[in-house]
Structures are given as structure tokens and as C-alpha cells.
Amino acid sequence: MLNIIFMIILPLGGVIIGWLIRFLYARNQLSSSEQKALRLKETAVTEAENAKKEVLLGAQDKILEERRQFEREIREQRTDLQRYEKRVQQKEDNLDRKTSELEKRQSNLNQRHDEMENRARKLEDEELRWQAELERISGLSAEEAKKILMQSLENEAKHDAQVLINKIEQEAQVTADKKARDILITTIQRLATEVSSEITVTSVSLPNDEMKGRIIGREGRNIRTLETLTGVDIIIDDTPEAVVISCFDPIRKTIAKTALERLIQDGRIHPARIEEVVQKVAKEISQIIYEEGERVLFDLGIHDMRPEGIRALGRLHFRTSYGQNVLSHSKEVAILAGMIASEVGADVTIAKRGALLHDIGKGLETDGEGGHAEIGGDLARRMGEEPRVVNAIAAHHDDEEIISPEGVIVQLADAISAARPGARRETLDNYIKRLENLEKIAMSFDGVDKVFAIQAGRELRIMVNHERINDNQSKQLAKDIAKNIEDQLKFPGRIRVTIIRETRVVEYAR
């Protein structure tokens, strides 16, 4: 029985002992975990405190930096404010000083005004006194003296008029035959209207007749601006869907026609746009002139031409003489001269060069005197051309003595190319020469910027420098120019001299 009890108690005691051992071990483990947890908690608290301190320090640094930035901005604003206050104070001081000066000037002006009024009253009294004295001495009243003076001036004017009439009658007797021939020639040439129209007049087609009103513009501003800028005469009549441009200068006529066609195509027609288009077209025509000069030189195989010579040649593309295009005529003369020179054994290069340049004086913009042969010879001499070339140009109308066979060849080729009937052509050349002389006379006066002869030479439109010519001087300038025209030129009818003085101010809004 004891053995059985002992066998039962032993396992039970082992179980109890094992449980006690596990309990003690678990308790030791729990105590160790609590210690670790406590240590972790203390570590976390320490790190949190350190992080808190770092955040606080960073926040304090940032606050200090922002405070310094704020104080710096405040100082800058205070400095700017002080500077502005100083400027305002200076302006107020200047304004006070100017106000004081203006008050002084006003006081001086008032004083001078009073003095002038007193002086004027004294002069009036003095004038009345002397007038009464003169009437007493002469025994005549003012009205009687005025009548005597007017009668004297009238008699003198009648005498001068009679002298002038006698002079005109004498000149008419001397030149009666010549004037009769001129009248007959002019009458005959009126039948050749198509020749002059091809040279001096061109027409521009319009999409509709309403465009005429837009070209004229309000109160004629558009057409007046176009005529002023180009120097042409624009004729708007009853011709349907067309306007006519008339000008003796073919380059001006071409610029005006091209500009008007572009304005019609664009549709925007007003003074500012007209000026812009005219300037652009003028530059393009200048480029065309140079290109035409280069082209004819290339076609003839002539090289080493200076730019002023190329431009003068190119201008001939827009000129006509004796019914021919002058540039085409010059090219034709050069070809003929080259052929003749090669046949007779002369210098082909000299002959062609002199022939091409023989009319270059017609394309030269100059105010000098002399015919186109003399002017062309001077230009060739300045360009360094060979003396034989210069002589061929200057002598092709027998203005100089020919010194070489090439000069004779140039003269002969020119006659061959230009040999055709038609007296009207010479009359047209004389007409163009007269208009050019009109412009030269006006350009010879100081202060004149541009001159345009329009209305077939019946009007001379002159634009002057507004800084050098005032309104009163403009009136005197018109009289002086008219007097010079009367003294230097002979012309039918009368010529209207118009002075245009314009002040233009330009500013840009940015």
C-alpha cells in the first residue's frame, strides 16, 4: 500500500516541482522584460527630450533670422522713405523758388507793359502834333496830301506800264516769225497725243468708282499727301474705274503708280499708310535702278563700273528721249559702236564703253548747269574713265572736239539708233528741260528741302525746312522764287509758286 502511495506521490511531486520551476523561470523572465521596457522607455523619453530641444533651438534660430530680415527690410524702407522725403523737399524748394521768380517776372512785365502804354500814348500825341505841324507848313490837310500822293503813284504806274507795253510790242515784232513757227509746231504736235501720254502720263485701274473717294480722302488729305510725297499730279475725273498720274519725271511717276496700286490692293488708305508705302516703294525702285544698271553692264560684258555710274545707268531705264527708252537706246548704241569698231579696227572696248555712257548725264541727279553731254563727261572723269571715253561722251553732240576714232564711232552709232522722224519728241524734251529748270531755280534758295513741278509746269510746289524758314519768310521766299523764274525762264501763261511749311512731331507710347 505504501508502495502504491509512494508511486502516486512521487509523480505528483515531480509535477509540482516542475510547475514551481517554470513559475520561477517565468517570473524571472517577466522581471527582465519589465526592466528592458523601462530602459526603452527611459531611452525614448531621453531622445524625445533631445529632439524637443533641437526643434526648439531650430525654431529659435529661424525666429531670430526672420527677425533680422524684418529689421533689415524696415531699415531699407526707412532709408527709401527718407530719400523720397528729401526729393520731395527739394522739389518743393525748387517750386517755391520758381514761383518767386515767376512773380518777379510778372511784376517786371506789368511794369514794362505800363511803360509801353505810356510810351505809346506819348508817341500818339507826338504824331498828332507833327501831323498838325506838317499840315500847317504845307497848307494841306492829310486827305489832300494823300490824294496828291496817290495821283503821283498812279501817273508813275501808268508810265511804267506804257514802257513795258512798248517793250513787249518791240519784242513781239522782233520775235514774231519765231513765235509763229513755234505756235504752228505746237498746234501740229497736239495731234500726237499718244506719244506724250506714253511718256508723261499713266493710268491706274480701280476696282470700282467708290475707290476714287477713298483716294481723295476727307477734305482731300489722302490725294494731297500722295502728291506731296511723290511730286506728281493725280487727275481724278469722270473716267470710269481709273485715275491718271501725270509727271515729267518718270521715276516719280513710277513710284506714285506703284504706291497707289499697292494702297488700292491693301485697302488701307490714309496719310500715315501712304507715307509708309511711298517710302517702301522708293527703296524698291532704288534697288531696281541699281539692278537694271548691273544687268545692262553684264549683257554687254563691261566691268569695273563704279556704283555711282551703275545707278546713273539704271535711272535711264525710267527715262525716254525721242520716243526711245534711254537705257535701251544706250545699249543699242553700244552694240552698234562695238560692231563698227571691230569692222574699222578701232578699240572695241573703248567704243562700247563710251557708247553705253554717252547719255549717262540724263540719269544724273545734279543741279549743275550744262547739257547732258557735258554733265556725263564730268561724271565719267570723276569715275576715272579713260580720256577717250570721257571725250566720246562729252563730244557726241559736238560740244567738244573729238580726239579719237572711237568718239566718231560713238557719234555715228548714236545717230543711227536715234534716226527717226517726229518733231514732237524734241518739243517734249524741251518741255521736260523747262520743268527741270523750274525745280533747279527753287532748289537754289536756302531753306528749301524738296521741289516738285506739277500741273504740267503750271505749279511749283516747294517744301521748306520749318526750323530755318518761318511764316513771314515763306511769303518773301515765294516772291523771290517767282521773281527768279520770271527773270531766267520764258513760259506761257503763269506759274503758281506754293510754299509748304510743315511741323511734324513724333512720339512713341511704350
The pTM for the full model equals 0.48
Under the banding of pLDDT at 50, 70 and 90, the label for residue 460 is: confident
**pLDDT value of residue 7:** 67
Quote the pLDDT of residue 191.
Answer: 29
d(CA 277, CA 269): 10
pLDDT of residue 192: 35
- Is pLDDT at 3 greater than 60 in this prediction? yes
Q: Which residue has better confidence, 247 or 291?
A: 291
pLDDT band for position 189 (50/70/90)? very low
Q: Is the pLDDT of residue 181 over 60?
A: no
pLDDT of residue 183: 37
Phi, psi of 195 (to 5 degrees): -70, -50
- Residue 366: predicted pLDDT: 54
Q: How many helices (H) and strands (E) does the chain have?
A: 16, 8
- In this predicted structure, the answer to whether residue 421 has a pLDDT above a threshold of 60 is no
DSSP state letters, 115-128: HHHHHHHHHHHHHH
All 3 cell numbers of residue 87? Answer: 526729393
Taking only the tens place, the pLDDT of each residue in 292-306 is: 888 888 888 888 888
Q: Which residues contact 393 (CB under 8 A, 6 or more apart)?
A: 354, 357, 358, 360, 361, 373, 376, 377, 380, 410
CB 497 within 8 A of CB 478: yes
Q: How far is the first Cα of the chain from the last one, in angstroms, to the nearest whole number? A: 127
Q: Is the pLDDT of residue 244 over 80?
A: yes
Nearest to 12 by CA among 27, 20, 23: 20
Quote the pLDDT of residue 268: 84
Q: Calculate the average pLDDT of the chain.
A: 79
Where does residue 304 fall: left (phi above 0), alpha (psi -120 to 50 degrees), or beta otherwise?
left
34 or 83: whose pLDDT is higher? 83
Q: Is the pLDDT confidence value at 94 over 70? A: yes
What's the pLDDT score for residue 370? Answer: 66
- Which range, 144-153, 192-201, 244-253, 418-427, is most confident? 244-253
